[in-house]
Amino acid sequence: MPEKAADLIELWRGGLKESVHQGHAVICDRHGIVEAWGSPGATIFPRSSCKMIQALPLVESGAADACGLEPRHLALACASHQGARLHVDQVAEWLERLGLGETDLRCGAHLPGDADERKRLVCGDEAPCQLHNNCSGKHAGFLTLNRHIKGDSEYVAPDHPIQRSIRMAFEDLTGEPIRGWGIDGCSAPNFACTVEGLARAMRSFAAPDAGTRGEAQRRLVRAMLDHPELVAGETRACTELMRAMNGRAVVKTGAEAVFVAILPDQGLGVALKVADGGTRGSEAAITALMVHLGVLDPDHPVVARYLTGPQRNWRGMVTGELRRAAGFP
């Protein structure tokens, strides 16, 4: 059957509906789907929203403890950070304790999202390095595990033991075989799944089973809750939403408008994909879902920023507004 997307978020201008962000969203508890919009079986790449799954073997294997990693390191392993000095310096320190350096990373370099660090590089005529890559914390985690298992240096190769262990964890937690795979922006494999499968995996982090895996999941969730500034950074939706929710939920974005949430108190996992790949739609949709689930105060300023506040032009004039589509959420 075709994957039919639902209307999630609308943009209104001058009293007319100008644009619609369509997509798929699923909320799961231990028994299965609680609520859904669009097609739960739609196949997606989770992109960076699944970094906590990619970090699981780091903790489960004992590599994190053998290296003496702290919660801040685990938060960085799950992060899509913006390359601020805070992030760059901590990843550099992490690599140094491994006896490794920036050249051991395999994520590639790009200009940082952090305005101050980007200005420093541009004004100093300095090129960004791989530490600025938003995935450098994840890759530092890969290197930590790789040293532990004595693997070869090309740890992002799809047949490398690290990536095979991630695939096994991914299939276990989503409860389904992968639907294919592609290479992510940071050069690591990214495994495709259904939106329902991704929500099911997030549910497993919200209410982990007993045992080594469950303890690893709890540690990763707690690290993200304790260090929202490392998961993304100042002015970024993941960081601002987690701060606003005061430890009641983890949220994590991925490229192409994917978002997930983990709600430990309610034992719920959430996954959504906005079909057009636009960040505006995914940030508005995850904000609406967090309000809907009662973990985000609808009057908090962050809700106005990402969902209910007016759209303004470059002169500050109000030009329109975002609205939840009828029936969402």
Whether this prediction's pTM lies above 0.85 is answered by: yes
* Alpha helices for the chain (secondary structure H): 51-54, 56-60, 63-66, 71-77, 85-97, 115-123, 136-149, 161-174, 195-206, 212-226, 228-231, 237-244, 279-292, 301-303
The rounded Cα 122 to chain-centroid distance in angstroms is 28
List, in order of start, the domains of the chain with CATH numbers: 6-324 (3.40.710)
Residue with tokens 């329902």: 196
**Beta bridge partners of residue 264, listed in sequence order:** none
pLDDT value of residue 3:
82
Question: pLDDT averaged over consecutive 10-residue blocks of the chain (329 residues)?
Answer: 88 97 98 98 98 98 98 98 98 98 98 97 97 98 98 98 98 98 98 98 97 98 98 97 98 98 98 98 98 98 97 96 97
CA angle 287, 224, 59 (to 5 degrees): 135
pLDDT value of residue 2:
66
Give the number of other CB atoms < 10 A from CB of residue 71.
16
